[in-house]
Structures are given as C-alpha cells and as structure tokens.
Amino acid sequence: MTTLNKRLYIGSNLKMYKNVRQTMDFLTQLASLTENISRETIDLFIIPSYTSLYQASLKIDHRLIRLGAQNMYWEDQGPFTGEISPRMLEELGLEIVEIGHSERRQLFGETDQTVNRKVHSCLHHGMTALVCVGETLEEKEANLSAERLRIQVKGALHGVAEEQLDHIWIAYEPVWAIGEHGIPATADYAGLAHEVIRGVLCELFLEKGMDIPILYGGSVNRENALDLIRQPEINGLFIGRSAWEADNFDKIIREVLPVWQAKIG
Ligand code: PGA
C-alpha cells in the first residue's frame, strides 16, 4: 500500500501558549521565511488560539498559511455558553478545524460521538476536519493500539459521504508521544499505525481512502522528521513544540520537502 496523495501537509497547533502579539509575530515571520517555498505541493497550516484568530485571518495571506481552529461546537448557535460555533469560524474564513486532539479527549471529555458530531458540522460548513486519533500508553502496552485506532477512525467518520472526503484529514498522535514528557514514536511504529489507519479508511471508502492525508504528530523534531516522512503512509507532520519558533519550523519544512519529493517520485 502506498498513499496516492501527492501533497505534503505540515502544520502546528499552538495550543494555549501564544497571545495575540506573539501569534502575529510568529505568523508574520513564518510567512516571510517560507514565502519562496512553492505551495503547489505543500499545505502549510497553523492553528492558533481563538483570541488570535480574528487578527490572524485578517492579516495573514491564506495562500501562504492556512489557518484553523483548535476546536468548535457542533451547533450553529444557541444557549451554549463558552462555546464557539462553526458559523463563527466560517465568518473568519478559516479552512481547518482540529477535532478530538488527545488533550480535548483526556481533559475535556471529548468522545468518539462528540468528535463525530463535530466532524459532520465542520463538513456541513465547508471546512476541513483535522481529526486526531491515537492510543494511550496503557492501550499500547495491552496491544490494543490497532483496535483503538480502528474504533476512533470509524467513530469519527461514521456517516461521512464519499464526496466529503476532500475535507477530511487524519492526524495520528499517540497520546504517550505528545508534549514535553512524551516519547516520540519510532518511524517504524508510526508507519505501522498509519498502515492500520489507511486500512480502515480503505475499508470504509475503498480506493478513495488512499487519498485521505494522514499526518503524524507527537514530539516531531528536526532529528526524527525525516525518518517519519519516509514512511509510505505518512503524508505529513503535525508538530507542536518544535514548530513554535518560526526559524526552526522553516528549517524542518525545508529539510523534509526533498525527502518527501523523493518518496512520491
Ligand atoms: P508536540 O505536540 O509536538 O509538542 O509533542 C504535538 C501535538 O500535540 O499535536
């Protein structure tokens, strides 16, 4: 099995770190550093905090950096204090919504069912759902990784129609690999997990499942990025800490690109 997708997807979730000024400085610097990289084959995206999104969407050239939100509620409007609706994100011209990051699942009670509702709402509003899946350390140690991934992918995409697949991206982010205390997955381990995910996508959508981008995330850095991207089913990288300095992120992108190009031929 080898992916049919010829684009490289590379982006970062800024989580709850940068304020508006820091986000704008970061985005401006990243846009200028990466300006001469052709966007023909690469999708570069950043997912800032809600408070930075308005200014970012006004000021940043969306052709250079695609912008996304870290979460959303599934209803268009209503008595849902503290939530953000898909219409509000649409109004900002956002293209991507990250759904079901492990921090949302672990700390904020996100389930496969709520992920599925958000995916449908996001698609209904014409935005791309970046669905995060990944097993916990306990599941990995009990040899349940493949089962967990299958359940999460099937749960998230339940009821999604073939013609909506252009707006689905998957991020494989093993919970034990994420963040400061995370241990990065080896390229081989990540490669196998991506094959499991590709297998489920093809079960659900036949050959159309080959086109859906699957990104790896979890302690990606300059050292491991190249081995990860060489894996046949890894279509991109979803990076946290190592991407938060524009300079370092630009270096990762430039180092990864030729390896990716050699892989897709
Ligand atoms: P990390 O974050 O690269 O800092 O481990 C990854 C993520 O949570 O998406």
Residue 149's pLDDT is what? 98
Residue 234's pLDDT is what? 97
Which amino acid residue places its CA nearest to atom 7 of ligand 1?
240
Residue 1's pLDDT is what? 55
> What average pLDDT values come out for the chain (265 residues) when binned by 10 residues?
80 98 98 96 97 97 97 98 98 97 97 98 98 97 98 98 97 96 94 98 96 97 97 97 98 97 91
List the structure tokens of 224: 């491991």
Whether 178 lines ligand 1, by a CB cut-off of 6 Å, is yes
Radius of gyration for the alpha carbons in the chain, expressed in angstroms and rounded: 17
Distance 178 CA to ligand 1 centre (A): 5
Whether 13 lines ligand 1, by a CB cut-off of 6 Å, is yes
Looking at 81-182, which runs of residues are DSSP E strands?
96-99, 128-133, 168-172
Q: Which of 95, 103, 135, 173 is catalytic?
A: 173
Q: Which of 95, 101, 110, 233 is catalytic?
A: 101
| Mutation to probe ligand 1, out of 216, 241, 248, 252 (largest number of atoms < 8 A from CB) | 241
By three-state DSSP, how is residue 197 classified? Answer: helix
Residue 265's pLDDT is what? 85
For the entire predicted model, the pTM comes to: 0.97
Long-range pairs of 81-86 with CB within 8 A, sequence gap ≥ 24: 84/50, 86/121, 86/122, 86/124, 86/125, 86/127
Nearest to 230 by CA among 182, 174, 190: 190
Active site residue 101: yes
Residue 5's pLDDT is what? 83
Q: Which residues contact 133 (CB under 8 A, 6 or more apart)?
A: 100, 148, 149, 152, 153, 156, 170, 171, 172, 173, 197
Distance 219 CA to ligand 1 centre (A): 5
Distance 240 CA to ligand 1 centre (A): 4
Distance 131 CA to ligand 1 centre (A): 14
Distance 207 CA to ligand 1 centre (A): 30
- β-bridge partners, 132: 171
Residue 107's pLDDT is what? 96
Active site residue 173: yes
Which amino acid residue places its CA nearest to atom 4 of ligand 1?
240
